[in-house]
Chain A
Amino acid sequence: MPLKLSEHDQAMLDGREGRAAQFAMRIMVRMAEVYGARELLDVSQAHIDSVSILSDSMLEFAEALAGWGAQVRVPTTLNMVPLDTQGWQELGVRPDVAHKALRQIRAYAKMGCIPTCTCAPYEGYLTPRFGQHIAWAESNAIVYANSVLGARTNRYGDYLDICAAITGRVPRQGLHLTENRRGQLLFKLVGVPPALLREDVFYPVLGHLVGRTAQDQIPVIEGLPTTTTREQLKALGAAAASAGAVALFHAVGVTPEARTLAEAFHGAVPQRVVEIRPGELRAAWAELSTAQEGQRLDAVVLGCPHFSFLEFRALARVIRAQQGQRVYPGMRFLILTHQAAYALLQRTDLLEELTAFGAEVVLDTCVFSSPLLAAGVKVVMTNSGKQAYYAPGGLGVSVAFGSLADCVRSAVRGVICQEEWPWPGC
């Protein structure tokens, strides 16, 4: 069946809405053909990752669109960007690079995008509604929007995200359609003690394991408590979307499209049942580290995805338990976050406490797209499954994965201190 376009789609394709809309619609139509979609559907929000990396081709693309007069048709937020827009001078960004990155951000702002500059666009600004069709990029945001919020988006890559925002249209297929949101694999927690389910460190480990096993299928997790926090679901999803191509997961009794097991599978039988026992969790936990216990540590990096206000508060509690001890001399302790969390932080004492400990709070960006870590940094520790997964390739460092408490303790001693296995009794 050929693709059926609306009159307005056709007008854009024919160039009657300007060159930018025509270019964007051409890409959208070709992608609809790739997907085998028969028509396009409206989206009412977009999130743009095209702004997150700086390359000559990305800048050329953005400035060409802006120069052609592109305007987004729906409220559109921006992903994290290649620099801290306020503090880049102190953070190792070369002025010529900064100049290009700022030009890129301005090009998207000129198109009407809101410069939120965060990979956690679900935290407080234009949070999508249940059932809302959106066009989001950024793998952790996609999985969060679909799974935790029940909004509907496919994995829109760079370029397609802004083309969706400019046209307000996406191919009618994939996770926009109810029948494609049915769970496929069932992950059952077996013999996992309830105390472990309360630990934040459990969630990225579970996400890594689920993502690696599910790849691009839709996993359903049974056995998580109803008290699972949004930060825990954020960490789970980010890790699952890194180790695999997970764009949607269901957690029975926790996420909105899985009030029951039957609802998660739309009444059908799982294609496969995978039992998760403590042994598998332990192996996944070990797999997230490439550095060794006791090795000298150069930096701790937190906030992948960007730290929320509540994550800052949890960190401050852990730091207080160190009773005034500070980050080991010469070591870096970076926390990546967005302007919204930072604004809340400024209204409390937390920022002072963190600074006194020796932590640096960085806005708008990410260690993978901004040179926040000096070349001498070889060993990094994090509590993020996503960061642990990407750091060896993306940063050329060895990485240690640990709980927030492990990260803080290690920062104070200057060496990696992981509890050999953080969950006694498993």
Chain B
Amino acid sequence: MARVLKGRAVVPGTAKGRALVSWQPLSLWGGLDPVTGKIIDQRHDRAGAVVTGRVLVLPQGKGSSTASAVLVESVRAGTAPVAIINCRLDPILALGAIVAQELYGVTVPVIVLGAEDAEAIGDGDHLRIEPDGTVHIKSS
């Protein structure tokens, strides 16, 4: 089944990848290891999952303001997600994506979707993101 959603392209760009869906907020600092791309917050519902190459679908980020640096370092290390979809604007994640683009020329699009729209995305779905914030979903 294919669906098309329209979100706000907070950091515009194109991306393709399979969804890694979590319904808990995540602080990348203490939550993501930029060397391995693995979620290391043991209290998180996706602990152990690897974000590399995936579209990370998170309700929002949280906690430490170091999250932006962890995202930039994961871009530099090549372990970053290909895009991030949030249900609520998280400026710290957006900042990480903007700095990664300014410093390294790599775009990790950040899209904000309404919570109901985001619920249409299943873990493992194939997603395609367009610069205007359109998200194409193909269920796995």
Contacts and interface: CB of A to CB of B under 8 A. Distances in A.
A209 B55 CA distance: 31
Contact of B63 (A139, A154, A392, A396): A139
B67 interface: yes
B92 interface: yes
Contacts of B29: 394
B68 interface: yes
B5 interface: no
A57 B63 contact: no
Interface stretch (A157-165, A271-279, A318-326): A157-165
Nearest to B25: A215
B67 A393 contact: no
B63 A157 contact: no
Interface stretch (B15-23, B38-46, B119-127, B129-137): B38-46
Given A57-B73, A57-B76, A155 B10 contact: no
Interface of A: 23, 26-27, 30-31, 34-35, 49-50, 52-53, 55-58, 60-61, 137-139, 142, 154-161, 215-216, 241-245, 290, 368, 390, 392-394, 396
Contacts of B73: 55-58
B91 A27 contact: no
Contacts of B95: 27, 31, 34, 157-160
A101 to B, nearest CB: 14
Contact of A26 (B64, B69, B102): B102
Nearest to A58: B69
Interface in B48-71: 60-69
B67 A392 contact: no
Contact of A60 (B30, B61, B67, B103): B103
Contacts of B103: 57, 60-61
Nearest to A171: B91
Q: Most B CB atoms within 10 A — which of A27, A158, A215?
A: A158
Contact of B65 (A30, A31, A137): A137
Contacts of A154: 91
B63 A242 contact: yes
Q: Most A CB atoms within 10 A — which of B27, B47, B76?
A: B27
B81 interface: no
29 contacts: A27-B102, A34-B11, A34-B89, A34-B94, A34-B95, A49-B65, A53-B66, A53-B69, A57-B75, A58-B69, A155-B65, A155-B91, A157-B69, A157-B91, A157-B92, A157-B95, A157-B96, A158-B66, A159-B69, A159-B95, A159-B96, A159-B99, A161-B65, A216-B88, A368-B30, A392-B43, A393-B40, A394-B29, A394-B40
Contacts of A139: 63-65
A138 B65 contact: yes
B83 interface: no
B66 A393 contact: no
Contacts of B94: 31, 34
Contacts of B99: 27, 61, 159
A215 B40 CA distance: 20
Contact of A55 (B31, B44, B62, B69): B69
B72 interface: yes
B108 interface: no
Nearest to A35: B91
B113 interface: no
A213 B10 CA distance: 26
Contact of A49 (B47, B63, B66): B66
Contact of A158 (B34, B41, B69, B104): B69
